[in-house]
Amino acid sequence: MRCSLRSFQEELPTERTVHNYLSGEPFAEYQESPYFCRFLQWKWRERQPVTKNTFRHYRVLGKGGFGEVCACQVRATGKMYACKKLEKKRIKKRKGEAMALNEKRILEKVHSRFVVSLAYTYETKDSLCLVLTMMNGGDLKFHIYNLGLPGFEEQRAVFYAAELCCGLEDLQRERIAYRDLKPDNILLDDRGHIRISDLGLAMEVPEGETIRGKVGTVGYMAPEVISHENYMFSPDWWGLGCLIYEMIEGHPPFRKFKEKVKREEVERRVKSNSEEYSEKFSDDARSICRMLLTKDPKERLGCRGHGAAEVKQHPVFKDINFKRLEANMLEPPFRPDPHAVYCKDVLDIEQFSTVKGVHLDNRDEDFYATFVTGCVSIPWQNEIIESKCFTDLDESGTEDEIVSDVEERAGASVKPKKNFFYRLLQRAGCLSSSPSKKEEEPTAV
């Protein structure tokens, strides 16, 4: 039996064999077909420069670490996004280049229904801009404290906790530790689903290694983070416990609502005190909070070898069908009012002070060139599909008609002829002798 299985595996074509075959005659036929020409037209459009004029800009929604966050709309498709502005001088003054680039690269890498997506990056004279998923429903902090009595009914809190489990699972699948789970960073969309946002403190954990660093928000940092110990993903499961507690109780587990406490005292409570539970908690809700808020990370739920799977199996989620949740087929317990604004009034959002004494030079320009890369392929393609703009690629047109259409849009005066797209895309830097992984992925569209 083993011999026959081994011989069967040896007879299977390897990935290299398949690649070599497809790169021969099948690919030559594909290059001669109208489908290849339309694919190049698609990629040409994707690679168009992105500037502030690509968007219409609307009201300020809030503040980020380095600048404002405002609503914006893509002029060509009508798609709404949130534009997170990172002021160049503020970045340089706070030596935040590595943090900004790290957030941008992680956002490019993660494609999850439960984490905000990065669609575009561009720059203005004063700012670097991240164009992200628009979340019209506001953040969980606003909902917990500004709409009625603090806190949620347990059913609603459990639903958000289930979606957070899925988001953390997607991040950990890419070996990313989030490290800043708190109500301010959890946003609601117009249907009432949540997404994790603000990945500025997130960090990739190398396979088989651990990381360390006292980062996060006071009151939400795990004991091992406060104590400068090594860790992997344990702080995120602690953060989930803090968040579930706060959603139900109406205040964090180690600080009362509006209580003024010094940082040192909060950290002492986190490491030494046990959280208190009121009658608002069911037995299952109390159980999952205690298991997630276990001081020893080795004993904490989610850290005992099975990750998100063991958290999802907790009885508090007995009414959640995670397969349907991940497929976006469950109706949230709360749906934001489309006519309401779930954020502070523009006049209540504090203005950033002017940064003085900081001068930008050529080294900064090198950093900006690395940061600003235009469209992110998958979100851009989804936008084009959702807005039905892909119908502009006339499927009944001939190759010469498609080439002429691209030349007309580009304002080119070159006479259409075979292989025009090759020269056009090579001049734009879109094609090389050995395509990168990023360039190869959209062939599945």
Of 126, 139, 170, 180, the active-site residue reads 180
d(CA 296, CA 185): 25
Entry pTM: 0.80
- Apex CA 137: angle with CA 185 and CA 154, to 5°? 75
Residue-wise DSSP of 304-337: SSSTHHHHHTSGGGTT--HHHHHTT-SPPS----
Q: Which contacts of 362-365 are long-range, i.e. CB under 8 A and separated by 24 or more positions?
A: 364/88, 364/92
Q: Are 285 and 154 in contact (CB under 8 A)?
A: yes
Instruction: Tell me which of 117 and 63 has the higher pLDDT.
Output: 117
Q: Are 128 and 369 in contact (CB under 8 A)?
A: no
Q: What is the pLDDT of residue 423?
A: 52
| All structural domains of the chain | 52-135+347-382 (3.30.200.20), 140-341 (1.10.510.10)
Q: Are 301 and 288 in contact (CB under 8 A)?
A: yes
**Which of 235-249, 367-381, 418-432 tops mean pLDDT?**
235-249
Task: Give the tokens for residue 98.
Answer: 């590595």
At 211 the three-state DSSP class reads strand
User: What confidence category does residue 60 fall into, taking pLDDT thresholds of 50, 70 and 90?
Assistant: confident
d(CA 96, CA 79): 30
Task: Give the tokens for residue 321.
Answer: 């069908």
Q: Are 158 and 317 in contact (CB under 8 A)?
A: yes
At 393 the three-state DSSP class reads coil
Q: What is the pLDDT of residue 4?
A: 44
What average pLDDT does this structure show over 245-264?
A: 92
Q: What is the pLDDT of residue 408?
A: 54
| Cα-to-chain-centroid distance, residue 384 | 19
- Tell me the pLDDT tens digit for each residue of 142-169: 999 988 889 999 999 999 999 999 999 9
d(CA 121, CA 49): 10
* 180 is known as an active-site residue: yes
Task: Give the tokens for residue 63.
Answer: 């503040």
Nearest CA to 164 out of 183, 191, 143 is that of: 183
Residues 6 or more apart from 343 whose CB is under 8 A from it? 61, 62, 138, 139, 142
Say if residue 399's pLDDT is above 60. no
User: What confidence category does residue 314 fall into, taking pLDDT thresholds of 50, 70 and 90?
Assistant: very high
Percent of the chain with pLDDT over 70: 82
Say if residue 355's pLDDT is above 80. no
Tell me the average pLDDT of the chain: 84
SS (H, E, C) 430-445: CCCCCCCHHHHHHHHC
Residues 6 or more apart from 185 whose CB is under 8 A from it? 139, 196, 197, 198
